[in-house]
Amino acid sequence: MFLFRSNLLAAAAKVGSVAITIGLGSAPNQSARAETLPGQPGAPYQSMPSLAPIGTRVDHYLPIPKEDVTPAIDPKKGYRSQQLGRGLYMVTDNGYQSMFLVYETGVVVVDAPPGYSAHIRQAIAEVTDRPITHVVYSHAHVDHIGGVNDLGGHPIIIAQEETLRLLERAKDPRRPVPTVTFKDHYTLKVGSQVLDLSYPGSSPHEPGNIFIYAPEQKVLMVVDVIFPGWMPWRRFALAKDIPGYFDQVAYIDTLPFETLVGGHVNRVGTHSDVRTQLEFMNDLKTAAAAALKSTPPGEEMEAEDRPNLWAIYDNYIDRVVVKCVNAVTPKWQSRLAGYDVFIWDQCYAMEQSLRID
């Protein structure tokens, strides 16, 4: 069962097929307070959403929408491959995604997530016996490139110059520094195949996070920004710049791709997926803005806590987020896979950005 922040009476409720437990205070705050010690859970906020908040344990989550269910991974293989065009393939474990491009005398690999990197050569061998000659880093995060040593050989490694800077600082043997770097744009032409690598000047996710475009195949790979059919990873995929994240999602929709590889989740995407994510983000922004405007600081607090400035803002922010979650849930909980997992994170990040960005 979901465990909400309360040690008072519990009552069962339902959200679709998901059972939850909500603490119900039958007495005013003062009575509830008398039963708890400072810093301990008390009565829930007014209008507490039925979805488990951060820090609570869940017995099961909302089901994945049918349209986002994809073929299961064969546990004996640990991956599946999908052809995206002439010589271009995605490799995935239904959680992470990488690509490889076959040309006349070799293979280019884009990212090597460590969860299945030991199988990438096996996936390539199903298509060709040509060697891996180049590796492209989408960005520096270890969860996307930390398995590059499993590829073997001595490929040319290409990345944006900010990725070089971050990897030199990290000094991580799992992530060899790139041998070729660029600032704004780099065209990798190998045989009759082309990859256009570009850096839009900054990245809301991490410095150096690039766009990888296969023009013949009309495939765009942008990692940790678009999550086709799914709730984005928590707090807008840990975006350092949330207004910039909004701008980048809108910009991606203007590009001439037909297939999008986002680096995560269990399927590729389309322009429709980009627009759906942007629609959700804009609804979230509207809901958080309305909640900020309609929520006075200091309500639902005991008088003795009011001198505690941090407590006032903790209470205020929590109540803003409660309103935000309640506002967007009816429309979106059945449309985005994993909605209930990260909706609280997204509302917290959105209200914070609206207050200070």
Average pLDDT of the residues in 240-246: 97
* Per-residue model confidence (pLDDT) at position 43: 84
Average pLDDT of the residues in 182-196: 98
Residue 39's contacts (CB-CB under 8 Å, 6 or more residues apart) are none
* Per-residue model confidence (pLDDT) at position 37: 81
pLDDT at 208 over 80: yes
pLDDT at 326 over 90: yes
CA angle 59, 63, 68 (to 5 degrees): 145
pLDDT at 30 over 60: no
* Per-residue model confidence (pLDDT) at position 254: 98
pLDDT tens, 107-134?
Answer: 999 999 999 999 999 999 999 999 999 9
Residue 95's contacts (CB-CB under 8 Å, 6 or more residues apart) are 115, 264, 265, 266
* Per-residue model confidence (pLDDT) at position 171: 98
Average pLDDT of the residues in 252-265: 98
Average pLDDT of the residues in 8-29: 35
pLDDT at 239 over 70: yes
* Per-residue model confidence (pLDDT) at position 41: 80
Average pLDDT of the residues in 205-224: 98
Q: Would residue 78 be called left, alpha or beta, if left means φ above 0 and alpha means ψ between -120 and 50 degrees? A: left
Q: What are the structural domain ranges in the chain?
A: 1-60, 70-227+257-274
Average pLDDT of the residues in 20-35: 43
Residue 25: pLDDT band (50, 70, 90) is: very low
Topology (CATH level 3) of domain 70-227+257-274: Metallo-beta-lactamase; Chain A (3.60.15)
pLDDT tens, 138-164?
Answer: 999 999 999 999 999 999 999 999 999
Residue 71's contacts (CB-CB under 8 Å, 6 or more residues apart) are 80
* Per-residue model confidence (pLDDT) at position 42: 81
* Per-residue model confidence (pLDDT) at position 299: 87
Residue 18: pLDDT band (50, 70, 90) is: very low
Rounded to whole angstroms, the Cα distance separating 355 from 162 reads 29
Q: How many CB atoms lie within 10 A of CB 189?
A: 10
* Per-residue model confidence (pLDDT) at position 24: 33
